[in-house]
């Protein structure tokens, strides 16, 4: 790699890999420039979608310690470097691929683990972070309500027993 332009491109890709929480490799064969713009808009600020040269991307991934793309970098390739929520990016890619079957999601990388196409589809099927947090909060609140009722049960049982005993004593006093 004697060419300084290629060295700079590898360094830039390596930096993007390091700065990203996840990366998704796609093949965009057959998509027009307008469709690629539409995809970039769909990804929004969550990710940067970059068309890459396969050899340079492979070298940059290897230098960044990412082996998820080995053997996958062939054909016209582009990588979505995720800086935001990986689930939102996976959903955007899935939705765009439904409308434009030319876009093929090949593989990905997230939190030190390689993701295959099925794992990315599973990630896309997850509910949003806010919904998952709301479900956890609801489950925690339900558990706390159950615990409060459980702690309150002996006290209410004692009160009912004392009331029954008082009523029995009153009844016995009237009978005598």
pLDDT digits (tens, 9 = 90+) for 15-38: 888 888 888 988 888 888 989 899
Alpha-carbon span 56 to 96, nearest angstrom = 26
Nearest to 68 by CA among 32, 36, 23, 29: 23
Q: How many domains does the chain have?
A: 2
- pLDDT surpassing 70 at residue 175: no
Maximum separation of any 2 CA atoms in the chain, in Å: 113
- pLDDT surpassing 60 at residue 1: no
Looking at 87, 107, 126, the residue that finishes a domain is: 126
What pLDDT, on the 0 to 100 scale, is given for residue 2?
A: 62
Burial of 4 (0-12, 13-18, 19+ CB in 10 A): exposed
Same domain membership, residue 90 and residue 51: yes
What pLDDT, on the 0 to 100 scale, is given for residue 64?
A: 85
Confidence of residue 139 (pLDDT cuts 50, 70, 90): confident
CATH number at residue 17: 3.30.70.1730
Q: How far is CA 103 from CA 30, 36, 88, 146, 152, in A?
A: 8, 10, 17, 49, 59
Same domain membership, residue 158 and residue 111: no
Alpha-carbon span 5 to 2, nearest angstrom = 9
Same domain membership, residue 138 and residue 93: no
By residue range, what is the domain housing residue 140? 128-175
Same domain membership, residue 135 and residue 67: no
CA dihedral 65, 127, 72, 18 (to 10 degrees): -20
Same domain membership, residue 64 and residue 148: no
What pLDDT, on the 0 to 100 scale, is given for residue 133?
A: 77
Same domain membership, residue 73 and residue 17: yes
Q: What is the pLDDT of residues 100-120, one digit of tens each?
A: 888 888 888 888 788 888 888
Of the listed ranges 47-51, 76-80, 99-103, 149-153, the one predicted with least confidence: 149-153
pLDDT (mean) for 41-68: 86
Cβ within 8 Å of residue 42, ≥6 positions away? 92, 95, 96
Same domain membership, residue 138 and residue 111: no
Same domain membership, residue 111 and residue 140: no
Handedness of CA 166, 172, 175, 176 (dihedral sign): negative
Q: Which residue has the higher pLDDT, 146 or 6?
A: 6
Model's pTM, two decimal places? Answer: 0.68
Q: Which residue has the higher pLDDT, 175 or 33?
A: 33
- Tell which phi-psi region holds residue 114, choosing left (phi > 0), alpha (psi between -120 and 50) or beta: beta
């Amino acid at each position: 790699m004697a060419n300084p332009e290629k060295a700079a491109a590898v360094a830039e890709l390596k930096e993007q890999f390091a700065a990203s929480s996840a990366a998704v490799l796609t093949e965009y064969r057959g998509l027009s420039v307008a469709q690629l713009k539409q995809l970039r808009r769909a990804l929004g600020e969550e990710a940067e979608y970059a068309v890459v040269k396969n050899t340079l991307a492979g070298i940059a991934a290897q230098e960044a310690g990412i082996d998820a793309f080995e053997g996958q970098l062939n054909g016209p390739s582009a990588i979505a470097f995720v800086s935001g929520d990986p689930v939102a990016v996976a959903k955007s890619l899935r939705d765009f691929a439904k409308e434009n079957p030319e876009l093929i999601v090949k593989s990905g990388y997230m939190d030190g683990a390689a993701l295959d196409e099925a794992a990315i589809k599973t990630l896309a099927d997850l509910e949003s972070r806010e919904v998952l947090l709301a479900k956890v909060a609801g489950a925690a609140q339900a558990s706390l309500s159950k615990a409060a009722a459980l702690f309150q049960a002996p006290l209410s049982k004692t009160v009912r027993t004392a009331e029954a005993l008082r009523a029995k004593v009153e009844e016995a006093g009237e009978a005598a």
